[in-house]
Amino acid sequence: MTRRFIVEPRGLATWWLKLLIPVAAVIAALVIGAVFLSITGNAWLEVYKKMADTAFGSGRGFAETLVSATPLILTGVAAAIAFKMLVWNIGGEGQLIFGAITAAGVGVWLADGTPALIAVILVVAAGAVGGAFWASLSALPRVYLGTNEIITTLMLNFIALHLMQYLVYGSYSPWRDPEATQFPQGRPILDGGRIPEFFHRLDWGIFIAAAVAIFAWFVIAKTRSGFEYRIVGDSFDTARYAGIRVPRKVLGTFLASGASAGLAGSILVAGILGKMDPRSLDLGLGFTGIIVAALARLNPVAIIPVAVLMGALNNAGPSLQSIGVPSAVVMILQGAILIFAVGGEFLILNRIRRPERHVAEVKAAAEGSAA
Amino acid sequence: MNDSVLILTMVAAMGLGTPIVYATVGEILTERSGILNLGVQGMMMIGAVMGFWATFETGSLWLGVVAAMIAGALLSVIHAFNSVTLRVSQIVSGLALTIFGTGAARFIGRAGAEPLIGMPSREVFKPVLSGGLADIPVVGPLVFGHDALIYLSWVVVAAASYYLFRTRHGLTLRAVGEDPASAEAAGIKVSLVRYLHVMIGGALAGLGGAYFSLVLVPSWQDKPIGQAGWIAVALVILASWRPWRALWVAYLFGAAGRISFTFQTLEVNVPSDILAMLPYVLAIVAMLLLASGKRARLLGAPAALGVPYSREER
């Protein structure tokens, strides 16, 4: 049987290919977006210019982009470290929300006189603990009972969402502002618990997020524990054979993943929001984190620039309504980026070549043996 | 008798459960071929908007249904290409489909000079066989007086079950999902079978989506289908990959979705947000009890589910 192409697994892909594929994925997604825009009678170039201008055109615009990028770095890290170990935590959404619930809970519970530094640390850390706890509801059954974590993390997203809405809209819980009589909203956390802003609405949270990403990279690339983690990610069997306690590794990774997503929630609460605001915490940041992780090819450091790109899209979206373009075009772009990024993995894992050389070799060998 | 709370709840549960029946049966057929498609939510969204749009433009409900099925199937081809031809992560590809489909549906609903958003549907599926039959105690309202798409869903369930377990093609499908290498050796075109069943799953999900925009809430909104697509993905496991069981669990989840209204009628005071968690809690508890570890395999999970298959690597 002759075939036009031979597809074979590639050993190690070159660095430029690993860079080229994600860039190509973004460009291809922009083309898809342009098609949608053109069909519906919009000048696609104008739309893209408007988006670029909103996201990068001014200092304040760029600050706003970084504000949007901050939680995405953390949900991106959450997805990346889990996916690399084939732990399919798609519950970043719920872990972020539960992290926000615990952070806001600590933030309204702390006495007003608490020293600012201690208050900030407690509020932010509470989010990580909350996120890890919410992840444990899926992680423990996965590790000890073998329950599929895809479904449990997913369902826990919606449970967390309704829990948050109940605490603010459906009850007179401590999370609800007793002074907001017109329309229910979250109760502001203590002033000392807020992360300080340093430019426009941008606060120090972005450095916490970037530090978490770099820390994750360091642990994975440079420590013994990270080495074991990589072995488990490559093959459970190899890891078991090497004496690594796989269940513990999986559990630890799953909880760390949840903590990172929970941190995204607490940094939002302690940062720009200042309270648990259900609408601002229900924007699909957990799912967008999965796009960030995939486009960064699960590399924690690459997540930082990719999160800025996704933050730019999220930041630019609402501004499009002023020129009559639905902001959902951003979701089309993000979905298409993910489709192309995951498809592009094929080209990184495999190489395609013409079979001539191979056929010629076989022929030559056959003739050689005949002679 | 026929307007007792129980009967009314059961009838409403059938309505709410019907889009989930379609999507779940579709995903069962997809997963039986060994492909996991987490894009159900996206395919339902695109089906919901295209079905609504086609009916809005043509005034024909059945053209709407056909458009929804075509839209769902076309979207699913992307997933089939990624997971069958390129053999990349089915989980990430499915999520991508959901994000893309949801974005596209919302965009289509809001774009253009006269956007669909907020528009009521031009036509709505009306109850058939209502007449006197629906007045028979208990059985009447449960069996008669539904809209055509509910009856069609029963036909689809019966046909899917017959196809899976009583036909040669169904056996082929199951073989591909269990052991693609052996199936290929027996002369079955594994890739073709997988492409086809991913697309059938997409078409049925699209149809389920259209049930929202043409029957349940006959208008266009940004979030017309709730989380029905995700529920369907979970129900495949609880239905243990069998179409008839999908019908019953989908109705059960329809009832769970209806329960806040029922409680109101009975003057039981439970906060609506807490009740809204019920279907998801139910899904998790059922997963823990029924589908943990080796038991998932005993339930009937296709052995090759989610595993990329390459002819060369055997």
The answer to whether the CB atoms of A290 and B92 lie below 8 A apart is yes
Tell me which residue in A88, A155, A291 faces B234 most closely, judged by beta carbons.
A155
**Identity of residue A156:** L
Higher pLDDT, B174 or A2: B174
Q: How close B290 gets to chain A, by Cα (Å)?
A: 9
3-state secondary structure of A151: helix
Check residue A156 and give its pLDDT: 97
pTM score of the predicted model: 0.93
ipTM given for this complex = 0.93
B158 bridge partner residues: none
Q: Cβ(B83)–Cβ(A343) under 8 Å?
A: no
Q: How many Å apart are CA B66 and CA B198, to the nearest integer?
A: 17
Helix H or strand E encompassing B26: helix B5-32
Angle A233-A235-A240 from CA coordinates, rounded to 5°:
105
**Burial class (CB within 10 angstroms; exposed 0-12, middle 13-18, buried 19+) of A307:** buried
Q: Domain residues for B59?
A: 5-123+137-299
Q: Cβ(B109)–Cβ(B115) under 8 Å?
A: yes
**pLDDT tens-place values along chain B, 314 residues long:** 567 878 888 888 999 999 999 999 999 999 999 999 999 999 999 999 999 999 999 999 999 999 999 999 999 999 999 999 999 999 999 999 999 999 999 999 998 778 898 888 888 888 887 667 777 777 777 778 788 999 999 999 999 999 999 999 999 999 999 999 999 999 999 999 999 999 999 999 999 999 999 999 888 988 889 899 999 999 999 899 999 999 999 999 998 888 777 777 777 778 888 888 988 999 999 888 887 777 777 777 888 888 888 876 64
> Would B82 be classed as within a structural domain?
yes
Q: Which residue has the tokens 């080495």?
A: A227
Range ranked top by mean pLDDT from A175-184, A298-307, B145-154? A298-307
A-chain residues within 8 Å CB-CB of B96? 291, 294, 335, 338-339, 342
> Would B314 be classed as within a structural domain?
no
- Which structure tokens are listed for B76? 């699913």
Q: How close B121 gets to chain A, by Cα (Å)?
A: 21
pLDDT in tens, A93-139: 999 999 999 999 999 999 888 899 999 999 999 999 999 999 999 99
Q: Which residue has the tokens 């979250």?
A: A186
Which residues are within 8 A (CB) of B282 and not within 5 positions of it... i.e. 6 or more apart? B252, B253, B256
Q: How many Å apart are CA B194 and CA B184, to the nearest integer?
A: 12
The answer to whether the CB atoms of B230 and A338 lie below 8 A apart is no
Please report, for the domain that includes residue B171, its CATH number.
Answer: 1.10.3470
Tell me which residue in A150, A170, A333 faces B273 most closely, judged by beta carbons.
A170
CB contacts < 8 A, A to B, total 159
- Report yes or no: B132 at the A interface, CB cutoff 8 Å: no
Tell me which residue in A41, A154, A332 faces B107 most closely, judged by beta carbons.
A332
Handedness of CA A167, A172, A175, A177 (dihedral sign): positive
Which residues are within 8 A (CB) of A24 and not within 5 positions of it... i.e. 6 or more apart? A340, A344
B-chain residues within 8 Å CB-CB of A7? 312
B-chain residues within 8 Å CB-CB of A329? 103, 107
Question: How many structural domains is chain B composed of?
Answer: 1
Q: How many Å apart are CA A149 and CA A9, to the nearest integer?
A: 29
Reference B292, options A138, A251, A140, A146; nearest CA is: A146
**Burial class (CB within 10 angstroms; exposed 0-12, middle 13-18, buried 19+) of A169:** middle
Reference A101, options A47, A165, A15; nearest CA is: A165
The interface residues of chain B toward chain A in range 51-80, judged by CB-CB distance below 8 A, are: 78
pLDDT in tens, A241-286: 988 999 999 999 999 999 999 999 999 999 999 999 999 999 999 9
> Would B281 be classed as within a structural domain?
yes
> Would B189 be classed as within a structural domain?
yes
Angle A16-A72-A27 from CA coordinates, rounded to 5°:
40
3-state helix, strand, coil in chain B (%, to 5): 70, 0, 30
What's CA B115's distance to the chain center, in Å?
A: 27
3-state helix, strand, coil in chain A (%, to 5): 70, 5, 25
Reference A45, options A323, A256, A253; nearest CA is: A323
> Would B304 be classed as within a structural domain?
no
Q: How many Å apart are CA A65 and CA A72, to the nearest integer?
A: 11
Tell me which residue in B88, B273, B287 faces A152 most closely, judged by beta carbons.
B287
B-chain residues within 8 Å CB-CB of A154? 230, 233-234
Which residues are within 8 A (CB) of A248 and not within 5 positions of it... i.e. 6 or more apart? none
A186 bridge partner residues: A176
The answer to whether the CB atoms of B107 and A141 lie below 8 A apart is no
Higher pLDDT, A129 or A364: A129
Strand locations in chain A (E) = 6-9, 197-199, 202-203, 350-353
A367 bridge partner residues: none
Tell me which residue in B89, B92, B111 faces A326 most closely, judged by beta carbons.
B111
Burial B231-249 (b: 16+ CB within 10 A, else e): bbbbbbbbbbbbbebbbeb
CB-hemisphere CA count at 13 Å for B59? 0
A-chain residues within 8 Å CB-CB of B106? 326, 328, 331
CB count in 10 Å sphere of residue B196: 18
Provide DSSP, B27-72.
Answer: HHHHHHTT---TTHHHHHHHHHHHHHHHHHHH--HHHHHHHHHHHH
Reference A356, options A68, A6, A29; nearest CA is: A6
